[in-house]
Amino acid sequence: MLSLWKAALEEFRQGRDFMLASILDVQGSSPRHVGTRFLVRRDGSIVGTIGGGLFEAEVQRFAASALEAGTSHRAAFSFKGQDHQSSQMICGGDVDVLLEFVAAKDEMMEKIVGRLVTMGANRTTGYLFTQVSIRPGDQSHGPLEHLLVEANGARIGQVPGEEAVLKSMPDPRLLKPSQMLVVQGLDHPVFLEWLRPRGTAYILGGGHVGVCVAHLASYVNFRVVVLDDREEFASAERIPDADHVMVLESFQDAFADLIVDEDSYVVIVTRGHSHDRVALAEALKTNAGYIGMIGSRRKNSIVFQALLGQGFTREDIERVHAPIGIPIGGETPEEIGVSIVAQMIQVRNRRDELKHLGALPTDQAEKMSCGPLSK
């Protein structure tokens, strides 16, 4: 989503109107979930995806026409009764889509988008509220109102009945990533999006596999930090998808100036088992939610035995995904990268599900919410 907000900010800077198409609700099956959106530019190009295929093409055409007219719409799209060979719309559901016209001169929206970019880069938490004043099948010529609330309580923008909207927030343990809120006393619902970090991938090793992991992890919304002790491998030009690239003096101090917590994913793909051993020892001293190390079972066994000799426990070793990745039989750096990032996604989704079900202790669940809103 960060790439979409960056693209929106660039459209503002270039003085160009654009459209935002967002999925508000899904009945039945859909290729993408509630809250998914894409941006449509004046030249017809898009940033992001809401599922591809004929569905996305139809929404894109609708958005292009609305952009030309300068109007916002709320439209329904159905996946039922379609010829699957020609349309690929075989999911069997109905999708409620908000197509929002954003004017280049909308200073408040530009301010909100700019802040969303900063929040995304800094991995901070917040909420974005959108007043859904358009009924299904209708259109609007005026701008839609938005409210952005950050974790520290700072607010940008406004929506009608703001205090009532904030009081209608669900319990943090039941909060969905995106959902419609029906607020008592308001004529229109409000669309709520929970803005939260989706994890930071710390990739130790900027070789071929590290570059592939960085690219794929960035694509699926991880913040990506690549670390290597070789300057020629740790360069932003070589790894443009990384949010940050660091040159280390040694893997011994890899995490000295970094915050590595339960939402951190450590991927160890250095150039040799001696460096892997040092990097793994440092990773095991952190609270990282995921630690994976590349290598054969024999090589990993040697590393593990060495760490046990250094005082690490069997429980420490059991935290490590090694061999790393989901077994798909891959051999190339690209295939290995796919297997690693797939495993990271699996761990992330499982953790998100536990949070959503309230399986974590209450004090941890409360950390996921913006404190000032719950008062």
Of 271, 276, 265, 279, nearest to 208 by C-alpha is 271
Same domain, 114 and 191: yes
Of 49 and 244, the one with more pLDDT: 244
Q: Which residue, 177, 195, 213, sits at the end of a domain?
A: 195
Asked if 222 contacts 344 with a C-beta cutoff of 8 angstroms, the reply is yes
Q: Is the pLDDT of residue 168 over 90?
A: no
Residues 254-276 have pLDDT tens digits of 998 888 988 899 999 998 888 99
The encoded tokens of residue 207 equal 């070789």
Q: Is residue 80 part of a domain?
A: yes
Tell me what percent of the residues of the chain surpass a pLDDT of 70. 87
Structural domain includes residue 104: yes
3-state secondary structure of 332: coil
Give a yes or no: residue 365 inside a domain: no
- In this structure, are 171 and 292 located in the same domain? no
pLDDT reading at 241 higher than 90: no
User: Band of the pLDDT at 314, cuts 50, 70, 90?
Assistant: very high
> Among residues 195, 217, 241, which one ends one of the domains?
195
Residues 6+ apart with CB under 8 A from 212: 333, 334, 336, 337, 338
Assigned domain for 250 exists: yes
- Between 18-22, 208-212, 235-239, 309-313, the lowest mean confidence (pLDDT) is in 235-239
CATH number at residue 244: 3.40.50.720
Mean pLDDT computed over every residue of the chain: 85
As a whole number, mean pLDDT of residues 198-216 equals 93
Rounded-to-5 percentages of helix, strand, coil across the chain: 35, 25, 40
146, 216: one domain: no
Is it the case that residue 85 has pLDDT exceeding 50?
Answer: no
Task: State which amino acid sits at residue 146.
Answer: H
Asked if residue 239 and residue 212 are part of one domain, the reply reads yes
Is the domain of 60 the same as that of 174?
yes
Question: Are 191 and 204 in the same domain?
Answer: no
Report the pLDDT averaged over residues 102-116. Answer: 95
Q: How confident is the model at residue 305 (pLDDT cuts 50, 70, 90)?
A: very high
Strands (E), the chain: 18-27, 37-40, 46-48, 72-78, 94-102, 126-131, 139-140, 146-150, 155-157, 178-181, 190-195, 200-204, 223-228, 244-247, 264-268, 290-293, 320-321
User: Pick from 178, 195, 212: which residue ends a domain?
Assistant: 195
**Would you list the DSSP string of 23-39?**
EEEEES--SS-TT-EEE
Instruction: Please state, in angstroms and as integers, the Cα–Cα distance from residue 333 to each residue in 209, 212, 272, 320, following that order.
Output: 5, 7, 16, 21
Buried b (16+ CB within 10 A) or exposed e, 335-352: ebbbbbbebbbebbeebe
Mean pLDDT calculated for residue range 79-101: 63
Number of domains present in the structure of the chain: 2
Q: Does residue 123 lie within any of the structural domains?
A: yes
Answer yes or no: are the C-beta atoms of 24 and 98 closer than 8 Å.
yes
Same domain, 141 and 276: no
Q: Are residues 103 and 188 in the same domain?
A: yes
Q: Is residue 191 part of a domain?
A: yes
Please tell me whether residues 349 and 231 are part of one structural domain.
yes
pTM for this prediction: 0.67
Are 148 and 18 part of one and the same domain?
A: yes
d(CA 205, CA 310) in angstroms, rounded, equals: 23
Decide: 288 and 266 in contact? Cβ < 8 Å: yes
Does 368 reside within a domain? no
pLDDT band at 87 (very low <50, low <70, confident <90, very high): very low
Summarised one tens digit per residue, pLDDT across range 39-57 is 999 998 988 877 767 888 8
Q: If pLDDT is split at 50, 70 and 90, which confidence band does 109 have?
A: very high
Q: Clarify whether residues 280 and 144 are in a common domain.
A: no
Judged against a pLDDT cut of 60, whether residue 89 lies above it is answered with no
CA distance 216 to 226: 13
Domain span holding position 17: 2-195
Averaged pLDDT, 67-92: 67
Alpha-carbon distance values, 304 to 201, 276, 295, 297, 311 (Å): 22, 11, 12, 10, 11
293 vs 36, more confident: 293
Query: 137 — alpha (psi -120 to 50), left (phi > 0) or beta?
Result: left
Q: What is the Cα–Cα distance from 25 to 35, expressed in whole angstroms?
A: 8
**Mean pLDDT to the nearest integer, 118-136:** 86
Residue 109 shares a structural domain with residue 91 = yes
Q: Is residue 11 a part of any domain in this protein?
A: yes
